[in-house]
Chain A
Amino acid sequence: MKILKFLKKNTLFTIGMMLYGLVAIIEPGQIKSVAYYSYIYFKELFEVLPLIVLLATVIDAWIPKELILKKLGKDSGKMGYFYAYIIGSISAGPIYASFPIVRLLMEKGASVGNAVIIISAWAVIKVPMLVNEVKFLGMNYMILRWVLTIIAIFIMSQIVQKSVSKEEALASKSNSKIQPLEIIEAYCIGCGICSKISPADFEIIDEKAKVKEGYSLGPTIKAASNKCPTNAIVINGKRSIE
């Protein structure tokens, strides 16, 4: 049962294993050259991996994200577009990790258009990923796709801005009661950092962090929230990035 759960969680790994199995059954002689190509690409990928990690680290540590976010919240005018692209491009994590932050920015004054820019740039333009793109598809390819994407995102933001009002975009949320401490389950990757920092308040159940009963809001919870790689820990309705 445990193995099944593991395979279901790691879909790509399962597909890879199945394909290898298929090759082994159909043409066992080929498995060696298949493995050889896997190895070649492994080498390529791990050549750039450290650079990507380092870039992501430096960006996370040094770009004054809070400052830019503050500027975006107000009526930011033309510079707002620029800030929106920057915020999207330097942020880590999957597209859905941007949603709560963008919503909050909108509540604080960011326009619908800027919301679209942040979400889209967050999804497509990742500075560390550009290195990976150059590595595998070439410099010309990367630059061209980057420029075209920036243009496309701008067009999109203007269309959405004209067709959806801010009230419409913000009306959807059911005003659920704000908890003093909660974890957004969709964002949690079950890394266990929070339970390590603050074992009295967090525990990992089924690879997801859960708030323990009888937790007490203190500095360790705040620290865990700051260290959470996906900013999934919400204190009084606020994520650490805010």
Chain B
Amino acid sequence: MTIAVLKYWILAAMGIGTSYYVNKGKTKQSLYKSKIMVRSMMMDIIGILMIIGVIMAFIPMELITKYLGNDSQLGLSLLGASIVGGITIIPAFIAFPLVAALQEQGANIMVITAFLTTLTMVGVATMKIEIGEFGRKFTFIRNSLSFILAIAIAITMGVIL
């Protein structure tokens, strides 16, 4: 464990300790909510860790570089990643290690950013619920704009970093 992480741990422990001291009931209730949330993600976490293992050790780096890191077809990779991100529903929590693994194996930063951003902001799977609450026009405009802007964010990131 690195010192930096240890520092955060202590900081967080102090925070929660203070919170507990000031209001036991409130803190307990919120802690319980967090526990349930983590528990409901457990199987997804195990699954993503298995997938990451295969990406890191089994899938040849050239393959990932070819499809997700090749400059000559960056546009296509970018679009593909955005579409996959838009239709997939996985918790953001486990998306970070996944894209970190992909990046380490040669994926382009624009491609992983596009995936990350559309993953959370565009919701094809939840569109039906969104339409139910806010109507077709709102839902369609919001999701299309999110899609376009996610790609814009990705490109900007790639240019700056």
- A14–B47 touching, CB < 8 Å: yes
In the assembled complex, the CB of A169 is this many whole angstroms from the nearest CB of chain B, namely 5
Answer whether residue A164 sits at the interface, using C-beta atoms and an 8 A cutoff: yes
Contacts known (A12-B51, A34-B58, A62-B19); A99 close to B36, Cβ less than 8 A:
no
How many A residues, CB 8 Å from partner? 91
Is there an interface contact between B138 and A136, defined as CB atoms closer than 8 Å? no
A198-242 interface (Cβ within 8 A of B): 226-227, 229
Q: In the complex, what's the smallest C-beta–C-beta distance from B103 to chain A, in angstroms? A: 7
Size of the B side of the interface (Cβ < 8 Å), in residues, is 82
| Cα distance A101–B27 in the bound complex, in angstroms | 23
Q: Which residues of A contact B33 (CB under 8 A)?
A: 57, 60, 92, 227, 229
User: A160 to nearest B CB, angstroms?
Assistant: 5
Contact with A along B132-161 (1 / 0, CB 8 A): 111111100110011001101100110011
Given contacts A42-B49, A96-B129, contact A124 B120 (CB under 8 A): yes
Closest B residue to A123 by beta carbon equals: B120
User: What are the residues of chain A within 8 A of B31 when measuring CB–CB?
Assistant: 53, 57
The segment from B61-69, B74-82, B90-98 found at the interface with A is B90-98
Evaluate contact between B12 and A30: CB separation under 8 angstroms: no
Name the residue of chain B whose CB is nearest to the CB of A10: B43
A14–B136 Cα gap in the complex (Å)?
Answer: 34
Give me the 10 closest cross-chain CB pairs, A-B, nearest first: A16-B50, A12-B47, A38-B53, A172-B135, A13-B47, A37-B56, A136-B100, A60-B30, A54-B12, A61-B30
Q: Please list 11 pairs of residues, one from A and one from B, whose beta carbons are closer than 8 Å in the complex, sorted by A's number.
A: A11-B47, A14-B47, A16-B47, A47-B1, A49-B38, A61-B19, A103-B133, A123-B121, A132-B93, A156-B142, A156-B145
Interface residues of A (CB under 8 A from B): 10-17, 19-20, 22-23, 27, 30, 33-42, 44-45, 47-58, 60-62, 92-96, 99-100, 102-103, 112, 115-116, 119-120, 123-124, 126, 129, 131-133, 135-137, 140-141, 144-145, 148-149, 152, 155-156, 159-160, 163-164, 168-173, 186, 189, 191, 193, 226-227, 229
